[in-house]
Structure 1
Amino acid sequence: MISRRLFLQSGLAALAGSSALANAPAVSLRPVARDPASLITAGGGLKGVLARAGLSGEVACAVADAKTGLRLEAEGAQTPLPPASVAKALTALYALDTLGRDHRFVTQLVATGSLSGGVLNGDLVLVGGGDPMLNTDDLARLAKSLKSAGVREVRGSFRYFEGALPQIRSIDPDQPDHVGYSPAISGLALNYNRVHFEWKRAGQGWSVTMDARTNKYRPEVAMAQMKVAQRSLPVYSYADRKGADQWTVASGALGKGGSRWLPVRKPGAYAADVLRTMLRANGVAVSAPKAAKSSPGGKVLAHHSSPPLDVMLKATLKYSNNLMAEMIGLAATQARGGRPNSLRASAAEMNRWAAATYGLKQAQLVDHSGLGEDSRITPNDMVTALVTAHRKGQLKPLLKGFPLRDSNGKVLKNHPIKVTAKTGTLNFVSGLGGFMTAADGTELVFAIFTADKRARAAISRAERERPKGAKSWNRRAKQLQQSLIERWSRVYGS
């Protein structure tokens, strides 16, 4: 696979070796470029780069000219591998195409009765609109807005409705219960559906708190509870009891003190619990929250709008937030007329869209975040989507820079190659897909997927947070990614 540019360079190189240049020139000439063919085959070519990486498992990659889509080089380009979080790039394109860059998600406080003398004679309902960025500060503003609307007391029930999106207990049920990157999903989300667990030494034991903190507020919650158990392992256990997330933590793992974010399994109850605290802090009396089975009719007394979709997608891609990707992907599927009852069903609709929009016949994603290990996509399909996105100017502005590093891992700030891409990392799975500008300004599109599926399959559920050998494997995979980027700049952009 040799581009038109390389063909022209080859022609110039041939002229440079002809008799026309036998006599000494009157002026100095530029150095003669090396034969492009020698650049392609130097060091064993692409296969040599892959072999020297010493990476177990499978490696597949493809690179193309960003403007023309011409494939320049590939290895296993038709091999479907897990994309990990590189899948979020496709989800972003799906959402932009379906919802539009200016789309916003709205959370509302709805009154079902009349308001008189500061008393609401009816129910107050927190209605989720699928906003994945809703946080405690936003609920505090909603509470203040309700107070400004004249509400001091709610005589009816305080309810919450989370049915704008399907209720899903965990993004990936195969993950350990306690990992914050696989929380529950519903039409209501708060603080990315994570609760803050903190512990401190108190005499011979520990003092523990569970709260919905931001930089400004730290409201404690009742729907997530923690108890210290006298044991060493397992570190955490979870149970759904009495309408609450009931956790235990091993005393042998606590040390002097610390904190971490735990996933929330009841997001609607979590958001309503925190809102109730904020309402009471503003002098608004409400009862304990109850779930609403349907979206209520009534008057909207207060509302909160999310940032526009393009801003949210930029955050999703920058921080690789799984919950944001899943909620936005589900919302896009529903906007297309689908009624998904699972992430797999929603992803199937996105696969159909990708096939119709880009011709991606082998895209088989099982969710919108890439967390599910059964997702598959080929480098060729990913490059196809990225080339089209580049022409439309859709994705590149949303991606963050991918820094290149020296042999010690230090970022090279003035490196001549510039890369904007989406990374993807699971245990023994690493992906990178995006755009690169070579040293001479040539723009290329690429996708690199690596996976040791046998090593990943050997990990028990309990070990999935930090399995042995995964860190070093993933480090080598990232080094290979940089080696490929540097090769492509040297061969196709010099």
Structure 2
Amino acid sequence: MSWDLKWLAILLYLFSAQVFAQEIEIDASYPMSTEFRTLFEHDIFKSSDVGIHIVNLRTKEEVFGYQADKGMVPASVMKAITSAAALRVLGASFRFETLVFIDGEIRDNVLHGDLYIKGGGDPSLEVHHLWKIVHDLKVQGIGRVSGNVYYDNSIFGPDTHISGWNKSIDIANGPAYFPKTSSLSVNYNCLAIRVRAGQKNKEKASVFVEYPSPDITIVNDIKTVRSYTRARISISRSIQDDKMEFTVGGRVPVNQERTYYRALHSPSNYFMSQFAEVLRQNGVIVNGEHKLQDAPTDKSIFYRHRSASLGTLIKTMNKSSQNLFAESIFLMMGVQQQSPPQDIVRDYLVELGADSEDLVIVNGSGLSRDISISPSVVSLVFSDMYGSKYVQAEYLGSLSIAGIDGTLRKRFSEEDAAGKMRGKTGSLNWVFCVGGLVFGQDGDTYSVVIFMNDLKTSSVHARTLQDSFLEKLIRTSTIDK
């Protein structure tokens, strides 16, 4: 190395050391600045983008803030916003509906005409619900359909990927967290692939799909290995003309069985194949074909299947961080209000006091790096939900309980802190966020939002620092009553 390069390296080192040695400035006017000051010695504040906002929901006082008004990527904390907006727009009692229409007369257990299934975008629909629908249709006299069975997927439009997530490897392989949204959703728009090892070393393992479809084929390249060997499975997906082929390779230890989930390329076609199979297994004969086609608008509803209430659905959405639920609810707000769902959520936040120009809303799940929302805006949402006598119970019940369930079940190792927070986590590569309500030992409830973007350290270190803030807040009394 030349002397010039050596001196340059030394100067860069000294400059970086000086930057990292700089003390992070925090606003001493906040009531909890003293309690949190030592936590700002962590390198995360020097190397990453961090935003914090804490509000006492009884007094409405900001007890701490750090870059609280800076727009940042919220990751799945976005679901806490989507569920709040949906409770305000759709109402806690809203239910998705899958409708059945008939075009013809029923005589002698035969529908002389066509059967129409109109999807309502229900993200919770599973195959066992299709059995219930078919059973009820048989009870109402449909044992055979002389015409066709049509499937209407028009309410959301064509099956599509979650907006704002363009990661090429996910588009190609279809991980379970990246399902397509569809008006005709079933089984979370994912395929369950079961891998079952043989009983002896080197014996051929078996691979099968829980709910098969004519459009799905499996190439089995799995080997059974000795019981002490670690499993190593790879699943690749190829698509051609709406048909999917999964190649499953690797190894699985003797007598083990594992299940892997992959997103469907065409949820509408999969729904159609599953409904056709349920009809067949129930002895309902269809003389015609199964096709995608809009339902007639001049026919009355023959049958309707209703989902659980929105107040129940958001429990799955928030506690399990379920992307399909979030996107389907997000899209349904747009359908009901006949307006882009991004605008509906933005309008809700502006109504709470946010500046429209500071908001970038892309989807409802938070699976995007293009979303930009500040911690202080998320605090407005928590304050709104906490203060609502109409939807507070449903909203708080949907959030994970620290140390007990959901995505917070492994947080707060200290026994006296477990159960003292209800919240929502969010993470992407280099993004780690948490927000929710903390119940302090002083008897007050606090809205807490901590966003960490552009992380230069592990998520373990980020989580430890977040929990230090949260546990310190739980144990600290800031208000004399």
Same fold (TM over 0.5): yes
In structure 2, what is the equivalent of residue 352 of structure 1? 347
State the distance in 1 between where 2:338 and 2:342 align: 14
Q: Secondary structure at the match of 2:279?
A: helix
What is the Cα deviation at residue 161 of structure 1?
1.0
**What are the equivalent positions in structure 2 for 1:383-422 lying under 5 Å apart?**
383-393=379-389, 394=392, 395-403=395-403, 411-415=413-417, 418-422=420-424
Q: How does 1:72-111 map onto structure 2 within 5 Å?
A: 72-111=63-102
Q: What secondary structure, in the 3-state scheme, does the structure 2 residue paired with 1:359 have?
A: coil
Note if contact 2:150-2:295 (Cα within 8 Å) is conserved in structure 1. Answer: no
Aligned to 1:186: 182
Matching of residues 211-250 of structure 1 within 5 Å:
211-212=210-211, 220-228=212-220, 235-249=234-248
Correspondence for 1:322: 323
- Residues 336-351 of structure 1: matches in 2 within 5 Å? 336-338=337-339, 340=340, 346-351=341-346
Q: Is this contact kept in 2: 1:195–1:262, CA < 8 A? A: yes
The partner residue of 2:250 within 243, 249, 252 is 252
Question: Corresponding residue for 2:335?
Answer: 334
The correspondence for 2:450, drawn from 448, 451, 454, is 448
1:134, distance to aligned residue in structure 2 (A): 0.7
Taking a change above 3 Å as real, the CA distance of residues 76 and 357 of structure 1, as seen in their structure-2 partners, is closer
Q: Which amino acid aligns with 1:492?
A: T
2:117 to 100, 122, 126: 126
SS in 2 for 1:50: helix
Aligned letter for 1:485? L
Residue in structure 1 matched with residue 364 of structure 2 by the alignment: 368
Aligned to 1:25: none
- CA–CA distance in structure 2, aligned partners of residues 289 and 168 of structure 1: 18
* 1:49 CA displacement: 0.7
Note the residue ranges of structure 1 that are not aligned, 5 or more in a row. 1-35, 213-219, 341-345, 456-468
Q: CA, structure 1 residues 243+415, in 2 after alignment: closer, same or farther (shift >3 Å)?
A: closer
Shift in Å at residue 108 of structure 1? Answer: 2.0
**Which residue, 471, 474, 477 being the options, matches 1:486?**
471
User: C-alpha distance in 1, partners of 2:95/2:70?
Assistant: 37
CA distance in 2, matches of 1:146, 1:409: 47
Distance 1:126 1:374 in 2: 36
Percentage of pairs with the same residue = 24
Paired with 2:375 and 2:412, the residues of 1 have a C-alpha distance of 28
2:272 aligns to what? 272
**1:46 aligns with one of 17, 31, 36:** 36
1:412 deviates by: 3.6
**Structure 1 counterpart of 2:469, which letter?**
L
Deviation string 1:166-211 (CA, Å, 9 cap, x unpaired) is 3343223416223101111111111111111112346854432222
What's the offset of the Cα at 1:73?
Answer: 0.9
Specify the alignment match of 1:466 in structure 2. Answer: none
Relative to structure 1, the CA distance from residue 180 to residue 417 in structure 2 (aligned partners, 3 Å threshold; closer, same or farther) is closer
Compute the displacement of 1:122 (Å): 1.6
Shift of 1:421: 1.0
What is the DSSP-based 3-state SS (H/G/I as helix, E as strand, rest coil) of the residue aligned with 2:130? helix
Q: Is the 8 A contact 2:233 2:252 kept in 1?
A: no
Amino acid at match of 2:345: M
- Contact 1:85/1:425 (<8 A) preserved: yes
Q: Number of aligned residue pairs: give it.
A: 424
Q: Report the counterpart of residue 13 of structure 1 in structure 2.
A: none
Structure 2 residue runs of 5 or longer lacking an equivalent are 1-27, 224-231
Equivalent residue number for residue 5 of structure 2: none
Give RMSD over aligned pairs. 3.0
Distance change in 2, residues 1:225/1:476 (3 Å): same
Task: For residue 113 of structure 1, give the secondary structure of its aligned residue in structure 2.
Answer: strand
